[in-house]
Amino acid sequence: MKIPEIIKNRRSIRSFLDKELPEEISKTLIEAACLAPSAGNLQPWEFIILKEEETKKKLVEAAYGQEFISEAKIVIVVCANPNSSAARYGTRGSSLYCLQDTAAAVQNILLTATDNGLGGCWVGAFDEKKASEALKLPREIRPVAIIPIGYPKTIPPSRPRRGYSEVVHLETW
């Protein structure tokens, strides 16, 4: 048994080359995102793809000054629609499933970017209200992750992980 190389090679990339991305990349990344599992196959995700400097700057501000966001050629903001999950699953849908579903979509984007020689970073530290305003999101839509994407300038070493014996509880906790 082995871990796929792409999972081992993915890193959070926070510096990007000033190099244009292939035209079709955002379509490929979104199609990969949409292959993620979702509760009841409801697919409660929405994606904002943005390239304009002005919008990136607003996201940097919403993300407490994380400047590398504006270095990226494209930024994908993965959003969740809690209402769509709530309609079938109630509070569990709106407070849990829609976030789990979109998180799986985020990981698909990051792995697909890596597989295409690109890099990205899951940025979750941001002011939701500011990000929603910058992106003109409808009131019910929640921004879940900001993902700046580009060709990596530097690829950092892998960060330490808790080991198997630290995280596994056999049979019960």
Ligand X SMILES: Cc1cc2nc3c(=O)[nH]c(=O)nc-3n(C[C@H](O)[C@H](O)[C@H](O)COP(=O)(O)O)c2cc1C
Residues that bind ligand X (CB under 6 A): 11-12, 14, 66, 121-125, 159
In the complex, least distance from residue 114 CB atom to ligand X, rounded to whole angstroms = 10
**Between 89 and 122, CB nearer to ligand X:** 122
In the complex, least distance from residue 87 CB atom to ligand X, rounded to whole angstroms = 26
CA dihedral 143, 151, 25, 142 (to 10 degrees): 0
**Between 90 and 124, CB nearer to ligand X:** 124
In the complex, least distance from residue 150 CB atom to ligand X, rounded to whole angstroms = 14
In the complex, least distance from residue 61 CB atom to ligand X, rounded to whole angstroms = 14
Residue number closest to ligand X, CB atom: 124
Rounded Cα–Cα distance for residues 74 and 21 (Å): 8
In the complex, least distance from residue 123 CB atom to ligand X, rounded to whole angstroms = 4
**Between 139 and 161, CB nearer to ligand X:** 161
**Between 139 and 159, CB nearer to ligand X:** 159
**Between 30 and 123, CB nearer to ligand X:** 123
The 3-state secondary structure of the chain reads CCCCHHHHHCCECCCECCCCCCCCHHHHHHHHHCCCCCHHHCCCEEEEEECCHHHHHHHHHHCCCCCHHHHCCEEEEEEECHHHHHHHHHHHHHHHHHHHHHHHHHHHHHHHHHHCCCEECCECCCCHHHHHHHHCCCCCCEEEEEEEEECECCCCCCCCCCCHHHHCCCCCC
